[in-house]
Amino acid sequence: MEVTGRVKMVEQTKEVGSSGFRKRDIVVTTDEQYPQHISVQFVQDKCDLLDAYKVGDNVKVDINLRGREWTNPQGETVYFNTIQGWRIGKVQDGASAPQGQAPPMPAAAAFEPAATFKEEDHDDLPF
């Protein structure tokens, strides 16, 4: 899966717990009719990938969805979801447009007109 858009925020790397676990978040704003601000978390050695990115960069982030189950002290089971990034790359302006849009068509003047076309001479039907 991937998220494409413009970098809104890049956090500093944080160490969590005593085991040396590292995490770093980036927020990417999608380029669509209703833009979404997607927080993507990079962990451990992947945190360093974000050093090359700044606010305003157009990026494509490859992600995995992660889910965890936790039982609190009261015995209730709680579920957490995380969007975890594993690769990021810059894209050129305009390349972050929503997929499914066709590229612009060239002007009609770019095509050479048929000089001697007669409808009765043209038959490309397979039957």
User: Closest Cα to residue 28, out of 51, 4, 11?
Assistant: 4
| Residues whose CB falls within 8 Å of the CB of residue 113, separated by 6 or more in sequence, listed in order | none
2-94 — its CATH code? 2.40.50.140
Distant-in-sequence contacts of 65-74, Cβ < 8 A, 24+ apart: 65/1
pLDDT for 106: 62
Give the global pTM. 0.68
Question: Distance from CA of residue 112 to its chain's centroid?
Answer: 39
Task: Name the phi and psi angles at 47, rounded to 5.
Answer: -60, -35
- Tens digit of each residue's pLDDT (9 = 90 or more) over 9-56: 999 999 998 899 999 999 999 999 999 999 999 999 999 999 999 999
